[in-house]
Amino acid sequence: MFRWIADTAKTIWFFLKFAAFLFIGYWLMMGGLWLVRLPIVQSWRQASAQSAQFWESSETAVQVVGGLFLATWGLRFLDQFLFRDAFANRLGFLTGGSFSLLRLFTFPLVHGNYGHLANNTVPLLIFAFFAVILLPNLTLLLPLLLFMLFVQGLGVWFFGGKGLQLGASGLVLGLFSFDVLHGVFAGGWKTAVAVGLLIIFRRSVWRTLTSRGALPNGARISVAGHLWGFFSGIAAAYLISPFGPFATG
């Protein structure tokens, strides 16, 4: 009886912390949007075309980061407390079975547990933010993201063996490689950003790329997901590079 009470109290406490985390994330996003829409920022936007593009990209970056946070943590919240991993099973990419185009694009949003998601969250949001900032044109955002997910998904399908693929780690690596390579191609302050990201995150990215075996919770690390995610960012950066077929100038 006492054990049941203790377990119930623990579950309720975890539920409240999870809900509070989602609530705080939402208001941080709204706060970021409020900042970039302040009158003084609006006056900075009008200073030049380059300034206008930068602040427009900043606003979009806040929306993208907030959307990714709410989507990934919201799905984990629902799976944890209401649907008992139904989203993970239905949106995860099951390799070795029937092919699903929808799951190819959705599996980075779902995670097997809280720890899995927590490990991916910070780098995902950082690299996604800079990916938007570094883009020469915001109309490229959705096509490039879908391209990266498609490349990663196909790589996992052909080389990932059999099993349920979950998590954003491949997308994290893809966004990192895109940020660095595109930043180098773009020149100027974008190259400085790329070099900064490379210096700060090179070791953690290398550890992720070379990880093998299983996680502490028993889930197997998707080597194919990591490698093809990383490659997808390189391919996306090449497409819009000065040497690529969709060079933006």
Q: Distance between CA atoms of 84 and 82, rounded to whole angstroms?
A: 6
Task: Return the SS3 of 165.
Answer: strand
**Share of residues in the chain with pLDDT > 70 (%):** 88
Q: Distance between CA atoms of 62 and 42, rounded to whole angstroms?
A: 16
pLDDT tens readout for residues 18-45: 777 777 777 777 887 777 777 777 777 7
What is the chain's mean pLDDT, rounded? 83
pLDDT computed for residue 214 by the predictor: 53
CB 108 within 8 A of CB 171: yes
Question: Which residue type occupies 55?
Answer: W
CB atoms within 10 A of CB 172: 29
- pLDDT surpasses 90 at 234: yes
pLDDT band at 8 (very low <50, low <70, confident <90, very high): low
**CA–CA distance from 120 to each of 129, 136, 159, 184, 214 (Å)?**
14, 26, 22, 25, 16
- pLDDT surpasses 80 at 135: yes
For 2-239, CATH gives 1.20.1540.10
pLDDT computed for residue 149 by the predictor: 94
pLDDT computed for residue 217 by the predictor: 45
Q: Distance between CA atoms of 135 and 74, rounded to whole angstroms?
A: 27
CB 148 within 8 A of CB 171: yes
CB 75 within 8 A of CB 109: yes
Give the pTM. Answer: 0.88
CB 63 within 8 A of CB 41: no
CB 175 within 8 A of CB 128: yes
Mean pLDDT of 170-191: 93
pLDDT tens readout for residues 52-96: 777 788 888 899 999 999 899 988 888 877 777 787 888 888 787
pLDDT computed for residue 216 by the predictor: 46
CB 175 within 8 A of CB 214: no
pLDDT band at 144 (very low <50, low <70, confident <90, very high): very high
Domain ranges of the chain: 2-239
